[in-house]
Structure 1
Amino acid sequence: MLFRVIGCMILVMVLYSCSNDDDSNLICSVEDPVEELPWLNEWVATLSEFEYIRSARYLGDDVFYNINCNPLVNYVSILYDCQGKVIGFTGDFRGQFTNDQLLWLPENSQCSFPVDR
């Protein structure tokens, strides 16, 4: 009897731990951060055709930063967390990024170098 109870408990735990959901593609626990994170959507609306946004993992957390490809502009990229809080200057942390990827690029982008679309 004890083995049946233990067997049932193990079966229940295995079934509940299995999931078809693949969370590995989520950024900040959402599928489309630009649309689902209000602060990020507002930020995107302010960017020019010379800017784009990248996402990365920093110390296990998702982060965002912008790149400006205008050769006439000297800029400093700021690193943001999922809530839109400033972490610091991107250059201070970029060497520790993993899963660094393009998140948003304007349709009228003027960036002529190859980017991972």
Structure 2
Amino acid sequence: MKKYLFFFICSAFLLSCNENEGPTVCGVENPVEDLAWLKQEIETAGVPSSSEYSYLMQATYQGKTVFFFGFCNPLWHWALIIRDCEGNRIAGEISIFDLSDQKVIWKPADSVCTFD
């Protein structure tokens, strides 16, 4: 009887897991597709004259999810503009080193940027 109870409990745990559930960011599963303002920014970043040098990063700043575009062209100088989940610009003296959990969430198909 104990073997059956153990088997039943293990089965319940295994069946209760949903493979489709993923971590949510800003209340959505895919911020690149599901946040309208971010999707529009990505379309703008895909302008052919410089798209191969652009990428979008997601990070954490003061415990909140933020987004920023980066550029890997060594001849360009660019300003760090950080936006929150609603697309609002976060003001202040913020350095790239103030951001944790940085990861690339979008780059164009013709990207020349490499990440290690």
Calculate the TM-score normalised by the size of structure 1: 0.70
RMSD, aligned CA? 2.5
Specify every segment of 5 or more residues in structure 2 that has no aligned partner in the other structure, as ranges: 1-16, 46-50
TM-score (norm 2): 0.70
Call closer, same or farther: CA 1:115–1:66 in 2, change over 3 Å: same
Quick one: percent identity of the two aligned structures?
35
1:67 maps to 70
State whether structure 2 residue 93 is matched by structure 1 residue 99.
no
CA distance in 1, matches of 2:65, 2:20: 16
Quote the Cα distance in structure 1 between the aligned partners of 2:81 and 2:21.
26
* Paired residues of 1:80 and 1:88 also in contact (CA < 8 A): no
Gaps of 5+ in 1: 1-18
- Aligned residue for 2:90? 87
Q: Which amino acid in structure 2 is aligned with residue 36 of structure 1?
A: D
Match of 2:26 among 25, 28, 42: 28
8 Å CA contact 1:81–1:87 kept in 2: the answer is yes
Q: State the Cα distance separating 1:72 from its structure 2 match.
A: 2.2
